Amino acid sequence: MLKPARYYLFGLAVALACLVAAELIWLPAPLRTGSGMQWIEIIDRLFNALALVPLSWAFGALLGVWQQRSWKSFAILLQLLRLVTAGLGIIGAGYVLLAPEKLFQLFVVIGAAAPLVFMDMLLSEGLERARAAKLLREGELRAGAKKGGLTLLWLPRRGLFVLLITIVLLLALLCPTGYRVTYPGMTLNMNRYAHVKGGNQGGTINGVLVFDRPAVPADWLYARLLPMYSFEKIPADEPPLTESYTQVVLMKTDANSVAAAVAMQKAGVGGGITADGVRVIAVVKGSPADQRLQAGDIIVHLNGQAVRSIADLTAYMTNSVKPGDSVVVTLRRSGAETQVEVEVEVEVKTKASVDAPERPVFGISVQTELHFDIPRSVGYKRFMAHIGGPSHGAMLTLALIDQLTPGGVTHGIRVAGTGTIEADGSIGLIGGIRQKAYAVSRTDADVFFVPAALEEAARSGAPALNIVPVKMIDDVLSWLSQHKK
């Protein structure tokens, strides 16, 4: 007879295997198919295998309900537990197959189902043991059956053993250590990641990912067996993981916008990026701006003087305002319900800066509000292993220029690179350069473009790689033009 516990154990084994696979996800790279699909894209297909975990639990629970078919006394509690387990399993499978982007909800469902699975195994084995003990006492078992009954007496202990082993493995694979680990990632063809409307297919332009996350005990084992693992202590004031995740996703969105605007300007189809005021990020409590200005306001004039950037704001405050003066601030403010921007005038008194008494301040934190001219829409693919971050910006910019330029700009060269992209086309610094260089060295890339300041560190990660330091996106375009195949 099929036993529910077998399906429960299968689901647990698959879950633990998936955890290990997620931590070692970079190893198969740079695997790709004949059609050009890269390992990072294949991962999205393999992710569906995670549905085996909740589905096997759901099947095991429903099998237990059908086999027992008893709703008397204690059995009713066990049957209800199985029905809840089955429900959670079906919901979890739905998240995997229909809404894979909802990872947090998926983990919550699986995390809620796992204790129920163990409860069912332990209680079921306990009932079997009790039945066997009763039969042995009543002398109703023959010699062969007695042997089976004695075996049943050990089932709860076996269940506890499985529980203990699972807890130990989960601690090794999930328990935070207070350190951060950085290790190699994989490449992503930017021309497969993004496509501008009306653009060409483009050549091979790979960005490169690096994994950087809180370290778990198993990472020290991986570091002994695999290259390029590095650890550092996590600062005490680092924001929570959920907040960091949100920031990383936002940085990817910002990088995409900057890359698209810069690329279209270089290709002659857009106006690039222009300053469009100064956005209030935060207001100091008790400051002159408190209750007058609010986060999200965009300052556009001071006493009628146009303000387009932080530089404009600083220059006007320094040259035309003294501490204690009142300033008429013209700003754009979004309505709480309509989100439609309206222009508002607010009079705000200044005070002397604590650091420099001669300097007037409002008591606000600000950043320059940028306008991105992106006349053509850009479609982006979502990949499970590409959560976010700005380090793909430079290569995304190059890929979009490649798509918008007749004949492309790669000239048959297999390109890889890393670095942020700034509004002026400069290429900024990134982290994990040694691991990224190593990841690229495993591919067939002809050249690896890196921010100039990181050249030495990149070479230490891949001495044999053709590494070219660059400062501007124009440096990349110039090199490619001079090294046509």
36: confidence class by pLDDT, cuts 50, 70, 90: confident
Count CA within 13 A, CB hemisphere, residue 148. Answer: 9
Amino acid at 347: E
Question: What digits encode the pLDDT tens for the residues 333-376?
Answer: 987 665 677 889 999 999 999 888 999 999 999 999 889 999 99
Identify the residue with better confidence: 98 or 387: 98
Look up the pTM and report it: 0.82
- The token pair that represents 206 in the structure block: 């790979």
Residues, the chain: 485
What confidence score (pLDDT) does residue 223 get? 96
CB atoms within 10 A of CB 323: 15
Domain boundaries, the chain: 4-174, 180-270+375-482, 272-373
Question: What digits encode the pLDDT tens for the residues 366-396?
Answer: 999 889 999 999 999 989 888 777 899 999 9
End-to-end CA distance of the chain: 66
What confidence score (pLDDT) does residue 137 get? 65
Distance of CA 107 to the CA centre of its chain: 15
* pLDDT reading at 74 higher than 80: no
143: confidence class by pLDDT, cuts 50, 70, 90: very low
Of the ranges 147-161, 384-398, 454-468, which one carries the lowest mean pLDDT score? Answer: 147-161
Of the ranges 93-102, 138-147, 292-301, which one carries the lowest mean pLDDT score? Answer: 138-147
Q: How many helices (H) and strands (E) does the chain have?
A: 15, 18
Domain 180-270+375-482 has CATH 3.40.50: no
Q: What CATH class is the domain 272-373?
A: mainly beta
